Amino acid sequence: MAKYALQRLALAIPVLLGVLLVGFFLMQVVPTDPAIIRAGPQATQDVVEAIREELGLNKPLWQQFGLYMWRLFQGDLGVSIINNVAVTQELGDTIGPTLELMVASLFWSIPLGILMGTLAAYWRGSLIDRGIMAISVAGVSVPVFFIGLLMIWLLGFQWQLLPFTGRGGPLWTMDGIMAIILPALTLGGVFVGPVARMTRTAVVDMLSADHVRTARAKGLNEFLVVLRHALRNALIPVITLIGLQIGFLLGGAVVTETIFSWPGVGRLAVGAILSSDFPMAQGTIIVLSLGFILINLAVDLLYAVLDPRVRLS
Amino acid sequence: MTLLSVENLVTSFKTSAGEVRAVDGVSIAVERGQTLGIVGESGCGKSVLSLSIMQLLAHPGRVVEGKVLLEGRNLLDLSARQMRAVRGREIAMIFQEPMTSLNPVHSIGYQITEAMRAHEPSLSAAELRNRAVAVLDRVRIPSAARRFDEYPHQLSGGMRQRVMIAMALACKPKLLIADEPTTALDVTVQAQILELLRELQAENGMGIILITHDLGVIAEMADRVSVMYAGRVVERSSSAELFDDPQHPYTLGLLGSIPRVDEEKDRLTAIEGAVPPPFAWPPGCRFAPRCPFSIEACTQAPPALREVAPDHAAACLEAPL
Ligand SMILES: Nc1ncnc2c1ncn2[C@@H]1O[C@H](COP(=O)(O)OP(=O)(O)OP(=O)(O)O)[C@@H](O)[C@H]1O
Ligand SMILES: [Mg+2]
């Protein structure tokens, strides 16, 4: 198990380096000159030149990359071109709310998706199955922003039940909980459908497995048969597939945060890109990619926890 | 009273090609402490018959006629809950596929105790563990106490089949249905498993239905035999009598097809062709198209299973042969 975990960790390192490299080159290929933006529209050529010198933009590419890595290593992601705040500081302030939002979204959507998928699988071909699958397909095909806007309009605006702008405070306060409901429903909402469908497929597969017949032959009741011998085994492929969907979750977080003015990394990223704040944009991309890597790592470890064949090999 | 008697059982599958009677009017009987062998080629309905007895048929399979009497009580009349209390406790079953019949994600100890817990919920965790280790020990799993926490993938096929047997025996059933328990195993392991079953039977007097397509296994194990062909029993007698004086051409064919190491290979006379699929069964005797003895009348109506010698029945117009 420890060996497996280390292996996975070792595999994540090249991916991380790749991300950093892409982050660096992203800055090279953008058509705008960061020095000009930093200097402002009225600046003279000399000022721009000076800033370029200061930022090290005149050095050869490999030296710039070395410098970038060296700074990164020291936890220095540069300062915002727009307001001169350290990128790491802004990121530090926004990571918490983003994590909060993701956890709150997954907290309800994954269990619900798994429950729906299992019920659909058990009663496959029935009206229950068709109903659940219709809901899931609808959930998959509707874009995040549409659900978000619909909920804002209905629950926030029309009925005035829930706040829909910004974070209300820490999650242990009532305000904090009220404020996260709509964003978490929106972001989690896109996840329910795919999880339900993947679970259904995996559980249907498992229900016809030989070991499920053995479980029935022992005289177990249907609840135990489904829970311990179909769903329990189906979780292995389901977790894998959920891992593959994490990219969508991060993308969804960017959109959701923007719609609900949620002070997270996603909104920070959008703001930075729109205002050509390159160091900030670079920082957010690195953090989001890091999140992607970490979640996948967590999925790999969970996989080992669920499957003794992986754990003990 | 007979331990289990199946009377005129019909199991049908509703498929797109129409209704298929994979088991078509089968009657069998097993006594306490005895072994009934059921033999027949692949596809003749042996597994469907055993799953019908256990009521474990997957959709679209359904028992449409007949009785399954366990000590006189018709299992087909039981509610789902009552039937669950029979499964594992009164009738246990082991399957053809030792590699996939155990759940890979649970330890073997868990899977054995689960069966006991289902029927005796009052047992404590320690008692469950002790009993499971004892039964693992009984089926000769070496260092059973340590194996308790191992997973199926850590065991060989033979060991897994022993675990399956341990699981089946955990609640001391009256009847064990073993559906080709050794087909997937190599010859030496096969002999050990059969020997184990015989010992266990002598010990606790359970009845066994042993399903196989291997007449060698029947000769070694069975007290009585029912030969199945295409969803029907075509011959029924004591095991000794069947080998001595077979009365159905199909049985003759099967006997001819036992591989004998001691004789030259070219003496083997396997039956030509294969069991037709259920939707292609002929209207008369289902074996007629492959039968060297068949006459015009064989293709008219299915021959009934009738006594051709004392305690020996065959479904053939030509019998006694
Ligand atoms: N789910 C199903 N749908 C339709 N027909 C089925 C189904 N399951 C079994 N059958 C039919 O029942 C017949 C008997 O199958 P069964 O598995 O009982 O054979 P068997 O005697 O156990 O063979 P084997 O020695 O290969 O295990 C098969 O020919 C098949 O056509
Ligand atoms: Mg079979």
- Edge-first strand listing for the sheet containing B73-74: B18-30, B4-15, B61-70, B73-74
A126/B30 Cα distance (integer angstroms)? 39
Using the atom order of ligand 1, give the atom closest to the CA of residue B40.
21
* Assigned domain for A80 exists: no
Using the atom order of ligand 1, give the atom closest to the CA of residue B228.
21
For ligand 1, whether the C-beta of B148 sits within 6 Å is no
pLDDT higher than 90, residue B94:
yes
Q: Which residues of A touch B87 (CB under 8 A)?
A: 216-219
For ligand 1, whether the C-beta of B228 sits within 6 Å is no
Q: Which residues of B touch A208 (CB under 8 A)?
A: 58
Lowest mean per-residue pLDDT among A136-145, A185-194, B183-192: A136-145
Question: Do residues A97 and A91 make contact, with C-beta atoms less than 8 angstroms apart?
Answer: no
CA of B136 to the centre of ligand 2 (A): 26
Q: Answer yes or no: do A184 and A264 share one domain.
A: yes
Site from B90, B97, B103, B135 to mutate, A interface, most A CB atoms within 10 angstroms:
B103
Take residue A64 and report the two structure tokens written for it: 């710039």
pLDDT higher than 60, residue B260:
no
Q: Which residues of A touch B85 (CB under 8 A)?
A: 219
User: Tokens 């198990």 identify what position?
Assistant: A1
Site from A205, A218, A310 to mutate, B interface, most B CB atoms within 10 angstroms:
A218
Which of B56, B86, B100 has its CB closest to that of A211? B100
Residue nearest to atom 22 of ligand 1 (CA): B47
Which of B88, B105, B164 has its CB closest to that of A233? B105
pLDDT value at residue A278: 82
Residue nearest to atom 6 of ligand 1 (CA): B13
Encoded amino acid at A251, one letter: G
CATH number of B2-222: 3.40.50.300
pLDDT higher than 70, residue B262:
no
Give this complex's ipTM: 0.90
Q: Give the mutation target among B23, B44, B281 for probing the ligand 1 site: most ligand atoms within 8 A of CB.
A: B44
Question: Do residues B79 and A209 make contact, with C-beta atoms less than 8 angstroms apart?
Answer: no
Question: Do residues B154 and B179 make contact, with C-beta atoms less than 8 angstroms apart?
Answer: no
Q: Rounded mean pLDDT of B11-16?
A: 91
Secondary structure (3-state) at B172: coil
With helix as H, strand as E and coil as C, how does A160-183 read? CCCCCCCCCCCCCCHHHHHHHHHH
Containing B69, the helix (H) or strand (E) segment is: strand B61-70
pLDDT tens column, A79-100? 888 888 999 999 999 999 999 9
Encoded amino acid at A232, one letter: R
User: How many domains does one find in chain A?
Assistant: 2
Q: Answer yes or no: do A136 and A61 share one domain.
A: no
Q: Answer yes or no: do A269 and A146 share one domain.
A: yes
Site from B86, B101, B102 to mutate, A interface, most A CB atoms within 10 angstroms:
B101
B58/A109 Cα distance (integer angstroms)? 32
Nearest 5 degrees, angle CA A186-CA A189-CA A193?
A: 160
Q: Answer yes or no: do A60 and A174 share one domain.
A: no
pLDDT tens column, A197-229? 999 999 999 999 999 999 999 999 999 999 999
Question: Do residues A253 and A221 make contact, with C-beta atoms less than 8 angstroms apart?
Answer: no
Q: Answer yes or no: do A104 and A8 share one domain.
A: no
pLDDT value at residue A89: 93
Looking at chain A, the whole-number percentage of residues with pLDDT higher than 90 is 41
Which residue, B211, B220, B202, B155, is CA-closest to B181?
A: B211
Phi, psi of A262 (to 5 degrees): -80, 125
A152/A134 Cα distance (integer angstroms)? 24
Q: Answer yes or no: do A240 and A128 share one domain.
A: yes
* Assigned domain for A311 exists: no
Taking the CA atoms of B92, B45, B199 and B191 in sequence, report the sign of the dihedral they define. Answer: negative
For ligand 1, whether the C-beta of B46 sits within 6 Å is yes
Please provide the average confidence, as pLDDT, over all residues in chain A.
Answer: 88
**Chain B contact residues (CB < 8 Å to A):** 54, 56, 58, 84-89, 92-93, 95, 97, 100-107, 114-115, 118-119, 151, 153-154, 164, 167
pLDDT value at residue A247: 79
Question: Do residues A266 and A186 make contact, with C-beta atoms less than 8 angstroms apart?
Answer: no
Q: Which residues of A touch B167 (CB under 8 A)?
A: 214, 218
> Using 50, 70 and 90 to split pLDDT, how confident is the model at B88?
very high
pLDDT higher than 60, residue B228:
yes
Question: Domain residue spans in chain B?
Answer: 2-222
What is the domain-level CATH number for residue A180? 1.10.3720.10
* Assigned domain for A79 exists: no
Which of A216, A228, A308 has its CB closest to that of B87? A216
Q: How far is CA A191 from CA A135, A140, A199, A258, in A?
A: 12, 8, 12, 18
For ligand 1, whether the C-beta of B286 sits within 6 Å is no
A213/B101 Cα distance (integer angstroms)? 8
Q: Answer yes or no: do A134 and A173 share one domain.
A: yes
Q: Rounded mean pLDDT of A161-179?
A: 84
Take residue A25 and report the two structure tokens written for it: 């080159």
For ligand 1, whether the C-beta of B20 sits within 6 Å is yes
- B250 C-beta neighbours (distance < 10 Å), count: 27
pLDDT higher than 90, residue B248:
yes
Phi, psi of B223 (to 5 degrees): -85, -45
**pLDDT, greater one: A281 or A41:** A281
Nearest 5 degrees, angle CA A233-CA A304-CA B184?
A: 55
Residue nearest to atom 14 of ligand 1 (CA): B45
Residue nearest to atom 5 of ligand 1 (CA): B13
Which of A210, A218, A307 has its CB closest to that of B118? A218
A68/B41 Cα distance (integer angstroms)? 73
> Using 50, 70 and 90 to split pLDDT, how confident is the model at A25?
confident
pLDDT tens column, B118-165? 999 999 999 999 999 999 999 989 999 999 999 999 999 999 999 999
* Assigned domain for A298 exists: no
B312/B316 Cα distance (integer angstroms)? 12
B87/B176 Cα distance (integer angstroms)? 10
Q: Answer yes or no: do A50 and A116 share one domain.
A: no
> Using 50, 70 and 90 to split pLDDT, how confident is the model at B270?
low
For ligand 1, whether the C-beta of B53 sits within 6 Å is no
Taking the CA atoms of B56, B57, B58 and B62 in sequence, report the sign of the dihedral they define. Answer: negative
Q: Answer yes or no: do A111 and A169 share one domain.
A: yes
Q: Answer yes or no: do A132 and A263 share one domain.
A: yes
Q: Answer yes or no: do A110 and A151 share one domain.
A: yes
Which residue, A284, A276, A309, A209, is CA-closest to A40?
A: A276
Distance from CA of A17 to the nearest CA of B (A): 35
Domain extent at residue A234 = 99-274
**Chain A contact residues (CB < 8 Å to B):** 208-211, 213-221, 224, 228-229, 232-233, 236, 306-309, 312
Question: Do residues A90 and A268 make contact, with C-beta atoms less than 8 angstroms apart?
Answer: yes
Q: Answer yes or no: do A258 and A112 share one domain.
A: yes
* Assigned domain for A290 exists: no
B143/B83 Cα distance (integer angstroms)? 35
Alpha-helical regions (H) of A142-231: 144-151, 174-207, 210-217, 222-224
pLDDT higher than 60, residue B263:
no
Question: Do residues B299 and B285 make contact, with C-beta atoms less than 8 angstroms apart?
Answer: yes
Question: Do residues B116 and B170 make contact, with C-beta atoms less than 8 angstroms apart?
Answer: yes
Report for A40-44, A138-142, A306-310, B33-37: range of highest mean pLDDT: B33-37
Which residue, B126, B132, B88, is CA-closest to B107?
A: B132
A143/A150 Cα distance (integer angstroms)? 11
Take residue A18 and report the two structure tokens written for it: 């790749």
Encoded amino acid at B251, one letter: T
Question: Do residues A127 and A208 make contact, with C-beta atoms less than 8 angstroms apart?
Answer: no
pLDDT higher than 90, residue B91:
yes
Phi, psi of A77 (to 5 degrees): -105, 15
pLDDT value at residue B265: 46
